[in-house]
Amino acid sequence: MIFWIIAALLAGLAGLWMALPFLRARSMEMSGAEGAISIYRDQLDEVDRDRAAGLISEAECEAARMEIERRALVAARHMDQGMAISTRAPVLAAGLTGLAAALVLGGYAWLGAPGAADAPLAARRAEALAAQAAAGDLGSRIQLLIERSQDDPESFETWWMLASSYSAIGDHASAADAYRHAVELAGDKPGVLSAYAEAMTLANGNKVPTAALVIFDKLAAETGDPRARYYLALARAQAQDFEGALERWAALARDSAPDAPWMGMVRRDIVNMARFLKVDVTESLPDATAAEIAAAGGAGAGPGGDLAARIAGLEVALAAEPKDYKSWIALAEARLQSGDEIGGAAALGQARREYAAAPFVLQKIDEAERALGLDLTAPAPARRGLDAEDIAAASALSDQEREDMIDGMVAGLAARLEEQPEDLQGWVMLVNSYRTLGKPSKAQDAHRSALRVFGGDPAAVAALERAVGAAP
């Protein structure tokens, strides 16, 4: 009720303001012709003042006066003469006020929602996130789950879904943290513990950490969890116990259904380990296919066994320590020598993913790609600058490698700008980079190239001039 009273008052005031001209007292006003003539008189006076001040000559003054007088005569002929008279119209004013108020209130009652509850910004934002999450947007789903976990930190279901969402986008560190909360709420549920330990392992570069190893040992002993058994075998391989790893993977394969979802990964690792150890793969995998036997180097690692063993050794080493770009390049070369061109390209593709944050390494991989004649169709996206991962990687490099890394980043930026020249900030960054590295000629070349793109934009040109002219 109070709402309608306030709305009615506001509508009445708005209508009254519209009707105000009809309530003024009787008055007489200058007609349009008289007003126009007064303007021309003022113009004549201004011309006389300019002549007296010496701003215009006598001839100019006379010509201006004649033109103003001509315009005044034309205006006088086309405009009404006399005075305009206005009178009050209170009845019309009251009617207009009432009509405006009725239209406003009636329109709102018909089209509005006066009974709807308030919708705070937070509630509207939550609705938008929920709609986007329902449409499959993982980012919105994660943000919504984060807010839910803050509102209700005791909800196992929220933490479990948040961890699963993080895993889906490859953020294993965040997934491990969310799984930790889920474990605290769920207790010793095997499935939750297993997922938590796997997330810790993936966040650790696929190396089984001690905390995960303890969980996997417990689960394997109590429940025989396949995931725990797989990672325990991987831990054996990472500890250089290759025979023990092969034995455990073979046992897992014997105990699993042929169509179990983890069997593809288990069979692959058995084949690789058999090739590395130069043993008959059929002893560990009796139903090995002809392709698997060939990939393992044959039943007795016959002709070509040395190359197969080299490939297997590289694969095992990279499984234990994937941050070794030289080994990835060596693996691609070895696979190519064995006739496995697809495998060689896959090795370089995996190396790109491992080193997506290290432009120096990406440059080396590009050089290897060209040297080996491989054509990767999905190169890593160009980077715009250093981030935390780059800095962490740089801290472990030698001075020469660090310089190579910086040169690689600048070279990558230059290459990207050749294909995507409509990036002003990129050109400014490139000019600044060359200048900082003590390469003024390259900075000038980049500056000229940028001007060919942004020469018609004064603001862009000014930014480029500041970049090329700044002191290093």
Is residue 375 within 8 Å of 349, Cβ to Cβ?
no
* pLDDT of res. 139: 75
Nearest to 94 by CA among 21, 28, 15, 26: 15
What's the CA gap between 183 and 160, in Å, rounded? Answer: 9
In SS3 terms, 386-447 reads as: CCHHHHHHHHCCCHHHHHHHHHHHHHHHHHHHHHCCCCHHHHHHHHHHHHHCCCHHHHHHHH
Tokens of 463: 């930014």
What's the CA gap between 205 and 216, in Å, rounded? Answer: 17
- 12 Cβ contact list (under 8 Å, min separation 6): 97, 101
Per residue in 377-423, pLDDT (tens digit) is 333 333 344 444 444 555 555 666 666 666 666 776 776 777 678 87
* pLDDT of res. 33: 55
What is the CB neighbour count within 10 angstroms for residue 411?
A: 16
* pLDDT of res. 388: 46
Judged against a pLDDT cut of 60, whether residue 37 lies above it is answered with: yes
Lowest mean pLDDT among 41-55, 237-251, 321-335, 389-403: 389-403
- 241 Cβ contact list (under 8 Å, min separation 6): none
* pLDDT of res. 94: 72
Judged against a pLDDT cut of 80, whether residue 468 lies above it is answered with: no
What's the CA gap between 308 and 205, in Å, rounded? Answer: 25
Segment holding 30, helix H or strand E:
strand 27-30
Is residue 390 within 8 Å of 357, Cβ to Cβ?
yes
Better-scored residue on pLDDT, 341 or 212? 212
Per residue in 313-335, pLDDT (tens digit) is 888 888 888 878 888 888 988 88
Is residue 192 within 8 Å of 209, Cβ to Cβ?
no
Per residue in 167-209, pLDDT (tens digit) is 887 888 889 999 999 999 987 788 999 999 999 998 887 888 8
Is residue 159 within 8 Å of 150, Cβ to Cβ?
no
Left, alpha or beta for 259 (phi > 0: left; psi -120 to 50: alpha)? alpha
**Alpha helices by DSSP H, 152-286:** 156-168, 172-186, 190-203, 210-222, 226-238, 242-255, 263-277, 281-284
* pLDDT of res. 471: 40
